[in-house]
Chains A and B, each alone.
Chain A
Amino acid sequence: MKKILILSTALCGMAYAANAEVVVLSWGGSYGGAQTEAHLKPFTAKTGIPTTMTDSDNPATPIKAQVEAGNVTVDVASVEYADAIRLCDEGLLEPIDINSLPAGADGTPAAEDFLAGAVTDCGVSTDIWANIFAYDSTKFSGDAAPKTVADFFDLEKFPGKRGLKKGAKAVLEFALLGDGVPASEVYATLSTPEGVDRAFAKLDTIKKDVVWWEAGAQPPQLLADGEVAMTTAYNGRIFNAVITEGKPFSIIWDGQIYENEMYVIPKGAPHMEDALEFVKYATSTEGLRAQAQYISYGPARKSALKDELLFNDGKTVMGPHLPTAPENMTNALESNFEFWVDKDAELNERFNAWLASN
């Protein structure tokens, strides 16, 4: 027994010693890859502070669990906007002072350089991304190709399975947009019980043909495998599949739902100072531009958008592929964080019930 004790102490010590780096928790796939290339590697090269990338289906979940259990192993996490607000309200994140962030490359102070809402009490935007839908252009082409969000729900004209994210957020909005509700009225509609019913009724029309996905890397895979003919997806994942892997996918920007992605530091992060340095570096003009070279999510600093952005292949101009491009914004909806902070639990339970019933 004594030997076991000695051994276990040794094991314990080893485990603690192995952890002396900034641990970043993100979404995996090509998004996590982009952050690794654009933020982690250059940061380590510049400062000598080692970094590790880990992934989760939704980084907000482990963050909450870790802080509540008093057991934080992550230094920086990449979370959705609504989660950054929610976790901050619950006192689970470290506040980040906007004035401590570096000024833009052109000297504009950070507070003016960031787009409106891109910096909150506890989070700094790393990019603006969108929920879009994409189709396999070998299956539909020319005039027979889908054009609007309503086409996604039209099984007669565009037969084939549909991929949808398994969860209420963005799916309910998408259903209402598909049902002809103008973007400006989506959340007002969804705030009423009739509006929720209407969204589910719309989803009912395609329910039997839906393949549900959970991780962001799944939709391009579902399209590539021919499991679905059309799927909602994060726009950057589809972009990467098209540009780097040459997949025949097309994005429909009509009815896109966009929001900021935030870097946050959980309360009690083991390497607080290094974590803050990392966030400062990653959300500098340089850091934001670097990330846009790996995935088509828009930087949230004006100074980062001034000059033309090129993809890391050196020839693809990123502008038209970003959710924030004017031509992509014609029927776009900004995700309403207040709505989801409040209704997330309720609507997801309803969604689960709907999903499980026949």
Chain B
Amino acid sequence: MTDLAANALLTTADGRPLKSALAAAQVRAKRRAFLLVLPLLLFVLLTFVVPIGQMLHRSVYHDGFSANAPAVSAWLAAHPAGTAPDEAAYAALAEDFKAMKAAKTAGEAGTRVNYTLPESRSLFTKTARVADDLAPPYREALLAVDAKWGDPLVWEAMRSASSAYTSDFYLSGLDMERTADGGIERVPPKERIYVYLYLKTFALSALITFICLLLAFPVAHLLATLPMAKANLLMILVLLPFWTSLLVRTTSWMVLLQGQGVVNNTLVALGLIKDESRLSMMYNQTGTIIVMVHILLPFMILPLYSVMRVIPPSYARAARSLGATSWTTFRRIYLPQTLPGIGAGALLVFILAVGYYITPALVGGADGQLFSNLIQFHMTKSNWSMAAALSAMLLLGVLLLYWLYDRLVGIDKLKLG
């Protein structure tokens, strides 16, 4: 069945068709390249991606109540929302309390319900303390311990805690809460914080990025236009902060900016300000901005510099010779050519600023805190699920920016020094 066309195919020395030999070689090369990457990919997946995924799982999963109060959870699952608790429900509750007292887990269950309905934790610990004395009729017995057991809000909260999977933590993260009838509403204005701080974090990061850009542009331009030898020398001034410990830089700024610090003392000594009206530049938003700009500035200068260095000066000269003013030349000729550098630097700085933790924690005071610090707050209060939900929110923002960076700049264009 061999026809002429097949016979005319090019073959390799060992008689295989060239096309399939090439394809096979291509597959081999692909496999070889992939095998080189594989160890690291596995390492990063296992020690980085999996742990974060596992942590984020906690944002929708909390079995503190459902695992410790199985009977009442079962009752709640069997009856639709809004059902008034009957004697069977109270009996299940009493049964759970006896078990929880024995296992010392009432606090855990109460903590979970407390996340949904504040002030219910002590209801649980208090009831558990007398659990052994509970006797039928259980409704009366429990109401005698605390009248709150007749409150539909408590039952609604237990209902939402009775499933290990919950969206409650994201609700809180969006400044929302559940109402008695199972609906959702925003919390009172005085208690709203997460959405505000989320937006504030992005706004502050944008401001920091903008200041970084303002400061980085002239420096990068100077470095790019100076002769190489001089530029390299000045480059050290940019790279040294980059290579210096972040804690060292934060400490230095504290020494410089605090009330009795170098800057204030100098200003007082020069008579520019009075001793009692020293500037407060530390432990507030101002301090956070100054220190973060300093820390992130090299991340803006380096990409700008690498773009500016390859812009041929002849374009600007041509524009001038054609009669453009220096401002027009800058605006119409130079600036557009630096846009890739601006994009790369700004996105990188913005991404890093959004997730910053150490600097705001050390110098932020009250109004210089960022979203990361709230995550840490819930970690210190041992509310892992809330911390995970907030982490997920922050991660979402960062990954969106990261994706944008990859689309606009390309991850492989990232350069350091």
Contacts and interface: CB of A to CB of B under 8 A. Distances in A.
Nearest to A4: B39
A329 interface: no
Nearest to A159: B276
Nearest to B278: A226
Contacts of A89: 104, 106-107, 110, 125
A91 B102 CA distance: 10
B325 interface: no
Interface residues of A, number: 39
Given A227-B260, A350-B190, A356-B200, A341 B382 contact: no
Interface string B271-303: 000000000100100000000000000000000
B190 A90 contact: no
Give the most central of A57, A88, A89: most B CB within 10 Å.
A89
B276 to A, nearest CB: 8
Contacts of B369: 355-356
Contacts of B283: 211-212, 227
A181 B207 CA distance: 43
B265 to A, nearest CB: 11
B160 interface: no
B121 to A, nearest CB: 5
Interface stretch (B20-28, B84-92, B373-381): B373-381
Interface residues of B, number: 40
Contact of A345 (B106, B118, B192, B366): B118
A214 to B, nearest CB: 9
Nearest to B108: A90
Interface in B70-106: 103-106
Given A344-B381, A356-B196, A356-B369, A90 B259 contact: no
A225 B260 contact: yes
A342 interface: yes
Nearest to A196: B190
Contacts of B119: 342-343, 346
A47 interface: no
Interface stretch (A16-24, A32-40, A58-66): A58-66
A302 B115 CA distance: 40
15 contacts: A60-B382, A61-B382, A88-B104, A89-B104, A89-B106, A200-B190, A211-B283, A227-B259, A227-B283, A341-B122, A345-B383, A350-B191, A352-B193, A353-B190, A354-B190
Given A90-B105, A342-B121, A357-B196, 15 more contacts: A88-B104, A90-B111, A91-B103, A211-B365, A212-B366, A225-B260, A226-B260, A227-B283, A341-B122, A344-B381, A350-B190, A352-B193, A353-B190, A353-B192, A358-B367
